[in-house]
């Protein structure tokens, strides 16, 4: 079998490790320079774009072909997760029916490095007739896309990181950075908070920390160990053993917390050599124990435990009566810690 000469050449080529590292350095330098160039080139048009998006009654529709399309999908996801309703529409599909997704209440962000993408150019006149505001992210400030746009954000780069100056590299980095800049400016203008972000990410660690309340993970009802102050020491021990929390609340007849007794307290009491048989819960309890509201975030309970170096905390309701208990194992199972 005759070997393909191109493959043979590649197979026998000596890999220049120094060149590999040099190209990596050059790529990072060129792309960093591209982003810095964007920063210096920011103009009032960026502010206009932010205001235009804030005023949209519908959604932001992002469009782009090829690598710009991949960037567009990421920008769409970033906008949507930071308080700006957004969707991606493929320009080629738009001219075959998907343009019906775009309403006159929407705003389009069109991305093209050259600004001469045929698929985008074909639908620009239709968007203009609909009266849809158009923001262009392009390096072609005199291009077809730029001439149709209401606002142009210049994402042009001096050169691509590709040694052939062909593959979209620095240009897509610039587009991505401009999209992030828009998203960050918009979330700040909207007063978007960490809690809002968490609602868009309920499955993530941040979502669990900011959306999980103590009431969601606490032990309640009969699972909460508690005795009256007059309970004997043996009754207190039976309650602690039965409920497996490593502690027991001591409450009055109105279920107000008056104290707590923990496994640690038991060890320290044994070390003193005290005869515990005649003691009552009131005699061995710690008064004024740490408590947390059932309406508090579970993360707050975790912080309270860490701050005071305790492994469990009692939970009270708005009337300050005992309604639950929580320990570090409960928080770990809920993946709050």
Q: What is the pLDDT of residues 244-282, one digit of tens each?
A: 888 999 999 999 999 999 998 899 888 888 888 889 999
C-alpha 227, offset from chain centre = 43
In terms of Cα–Cα distance, which of 237, 197, 234 is closest to 84? 197
Measure the CA–CA gap between 64 and 296, rounded to whole angstroms: 44
Q: Please tell me the predicted confidence (pLDDT) of residue 13.
A: 56
Measure the CA–CA gap between 225 and 234, rounded to whole angstroms: 14
Host H or E run for residue 174: helix 170-189
CATH number for the domain spanning 74: value is 3.40.50.10490
Averaged pLDDT, 275-297? 91
Q: Please tell me the predicted confidence (pLDDT) of residue 62.
A: 97
Averaged pLDDT, 25-29? 94
Residue 145 and residue 21 share a domain: yes
Residue 158 and residue 22 share a domain: yes
Residue 6 lies in a domain: no
Q: Is pLDDT above 80 for 227?
A: yes
Q: Please tell me the predicted confidence (pLDDT) of residue 5.
A: 55
Query: In this predicted model, what pLDDT tens digit does every residue of 43-84 receive, in sequence order?
Result: 899 999 999 999 999 999 999 999 999 999 999 999 988 889
Q: Which has more confidence, 81 or 321? A: 321
Using the 3D structure, point to which of 157, 192, 227 is the last residue of a domain: 192
Q: What is the mean pLDDT of the chain?
A: 89
Residue 141 and residue 44 share a domain: yes
Residue 295 and residue 238 share a domain: yes
Q: Which range marks the domain in which residue 93 is found?
A: 17-192
Residue 101 and residue 59 share a domain: yes
Q: Please tell me the predicted confidence (pLDDT) of residue 76.
A: 96
Q: Please tell me the predicted confidence (pLDDT) of residue 107.
A: 97
Q: What proportion of the chain, given as a percentage, has pLDDT over 70? A: 91
Averaged pLDDT, 108-130? 94
Q: Is pLDDT above 90 for 89?
A: yes
Averaged pLDDT, 140-154? 96
How would DSSP label each residue in 72-116? HHHHHHHHHHTT--EEE--HHHHTTTGGGG--TT-EEEEEESSS-
Residue 325 and residue 276 share a domain: yes
CATH number for the domain spanning 294: value is 3.10.580.10
Residue 7 lies in a domain: no
Residue 12 lies in a domain: no
85-89, 94-98, 300-304: range with lowest mean pLDDT = 94-98
Per-residue pLDDT band at 208 (split at 50, 70, 90): low
Assess contact for 321 and 254: CB atoms under 8 A: yes
Q: Please tell me the predicted confidence (pLDDT) of residue 171.
A: 95
Residue 174 and residue 87 share a domain: yes
Q: Please tell me the predicted confidence (pLDDT) of residue 72.
A: 96
Per-residue pLDDT band at 96 (split at 50, 70, 90): confident
Averaged pLDDT, 79-102? 90
Q: What is the CA radius of gyration of the chain?
A: 32
C-alpha 36, offset from chain centre = 26
Residue 130 and residue 274 share a domain: no
* Domains of the chain: total: 2
Q: Please tell me the predicted confidence (pLDDT) of residue 119.
A: 94
Measure the CA–CA gap between 93 and 96, rounded to whole angstroms: 5
Residue 257 and residue 112 share a domain: no
Q: Is pLDDT above 90 for 180?
A: yes
Per-residue pLDDT band at 336 (split at 50, 70, 90): confident
Q: Is pLDDT above 80 for 102?
A: yes
Residue 2 lies in a domain: no
Q: Please tell me the predicted confidence (pLDDT) of residue 273.
A: 85
Residue 125 lies in a domain: yes
Q: Is pLDDT above 70 for 198?
A: no
Residue 207 lies in a domain: no
Residue 220 and residue 181 share a domain: no
Q: Please tell me the predicted confidence (pLDDT) of residue 275.
A: 84
How would DSSP label each residue in 212-273? -BHHHH-B-GGGS-EE-TT-BHHHHHHHHHHHTSSEEEEE-TT-BEEEEEEHHHHHHHHHTT
Q: Please tell me the predicted confidence (pLDDT) of residue 278.
A: 87
Residue 169 and residue 107 share a domain: yes
Residue 227 and residue 130 share a domain: no
Averaged pLDDT, 171-197? 88
Residue 10 lies in a domain: no
Measure the CA–CA gap between 280 and 287, rounded to whole angstroms: 14
Averaged pLDDT, 188-215? 70
Residue 3 lies in a domain: no
Q: Is pLDDT above 80 for 211?
A: no
Backbone angles phi, psi at 336, to 5 degrees: -80, -30
């Amino acid at each position: 079998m005759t070997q393909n000469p191109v493959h043979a050449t590649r197979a026998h080529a000596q890999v220049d490790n120094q060149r590999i590292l040099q190209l990596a350095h050059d790529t990072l330098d060129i792309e960093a320079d591209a982003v810095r160039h964007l920063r210096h080139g920011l103009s009032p048009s960026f502010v206009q774009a932010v205001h235009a998006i804030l005023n949209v009654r519908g959604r932001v529709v992002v469009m782009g072909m090829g690598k710009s399309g991949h960037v567009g999908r990421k920008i769409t996801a970033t906008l949507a997760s930071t308080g700006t309703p957004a969707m991606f529409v493929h320009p080629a599909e738009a001219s075959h029916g998907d343009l019906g997704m775009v309403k006159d209440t929407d705003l389009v962000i069109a991305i093209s490095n050259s600004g001469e993408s045929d698929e985008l150019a074909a639908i620009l006149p239709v968007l203009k007739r609909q009266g849809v505001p158009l923001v262009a992210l392009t390096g072609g400030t005199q291009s077809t896309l730029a001439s149709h746009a209401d606002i142009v954000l210049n994402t042009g780069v001096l050169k691509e990181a590709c040694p052939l100056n062909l593959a979209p590299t620095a240009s897509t980095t610039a587009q991505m950075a401009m999209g992030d800049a828009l998203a960050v400016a918009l979330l700040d203008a909207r007063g978007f908070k960490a809690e809002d972000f968490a609602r868009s990410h309920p499955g993530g660690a941040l979502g669990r920390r900011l959306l999980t309340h103590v009431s969601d993970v606490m032990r309640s009802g009969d699972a909460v160990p508690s005795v009256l102050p007059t309970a004997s020491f043996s009754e207190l021990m039976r309650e602690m053993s039965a409920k497996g929390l490593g502690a027991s609340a001591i409450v009055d007849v109105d279920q107000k917390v008056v104290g707590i007794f923990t496994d640690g307290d038991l060890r320290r009491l044994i070390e003193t050599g005290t005869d515990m048989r005649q003691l009552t819960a009131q005699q061995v309890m710690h008064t004024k124990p740490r408590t947390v509201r059932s309406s508090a975030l579970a993360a707050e309970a975790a912080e309270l435990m860490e701050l005071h170096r305790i492994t469990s905390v009692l939970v009270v309701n708005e009337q300050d009566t005992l309604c639950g208990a929580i320990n570090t194992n409960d928080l770990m199972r809920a993946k709050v810690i």
